[in-house]
């Protein structure tokens, strides 16, 4: 049976439901979706989609750090957008977050997101056990 380890970062918002911020299984780390919540206040950051995207990516980075990983270890992301018209605004922020080559990615339009967020991003990273 494969061991599973919950990953927790105090520098990212706490889970708002019955899930872990991330789970390490073998050499993979599966990160739950992050929205643009300020970890200090638990509220969405002001400024619209670009700022929510920036904060969601910073939240992902905090969980990656707790897992001993970095943005360059991310192999796959999924972006959920409440309005696909925000695709370009998300891309502008996202492009500066991951080193080349960027991870594989899917973007999905959804009818709504938790707490009224405009964007949510989850990720899968590869990290050798013990690193």
Q: What is the pLDDT of residues 75-128, one digit of tens each?
A: 999 999 999 999 999 999 999 999 999 999 999 999 999 999 999 999 999 997
What are φ and ψ of residue 81, in 5° steps?
-120, 130
Show contacts of 87-90: CB within 8 Å, 24+ apart: 89/48, 89/49, 89/50, 89/53, 90/49, 90/50, 90/53, 90/119
Query: Global pTM?
Result: 0.94
Rounded to whole angstroms, how far apart are CA atoms 113 and 51?
16
Q: Which residue is it, tokens 């904060």? A: 55
Domain 4-126: CATH class, spelled out: alpha beta
Q: List the chain domain ranges.
A: 4-126
Taking the chain, what is the end-to-end CA distance rounded to the nearest angstrom?
21
């Amino acid at each position: 049976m494969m061991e599973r380890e919950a990953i927790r970062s105090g520098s990212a918002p706490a889970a708002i439901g019955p899930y872990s911020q991330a789970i390490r299984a073998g050499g993979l780390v599966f990160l739950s979706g992050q929205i643009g919540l300020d970890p200090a206040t638990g509220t969405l950051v002001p400024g619209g989609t670009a700022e929510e995207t920036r904060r969601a990516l910073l939240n992902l980075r905090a969980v990656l750090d707790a897992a001993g990983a970095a943005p360059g270890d991310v192999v796959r992301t999924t972006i959920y957008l409440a309005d696909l018209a925000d695709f370009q605004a998300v891309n502008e922020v996202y492009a500066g977050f991951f080193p080349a080559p960027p991870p594989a990615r899917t973007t999905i339009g959804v009818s709504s997101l938790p707490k009224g967020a405009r964007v949510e991003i989850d990720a899968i990273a590869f990290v050798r056990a013990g690193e």
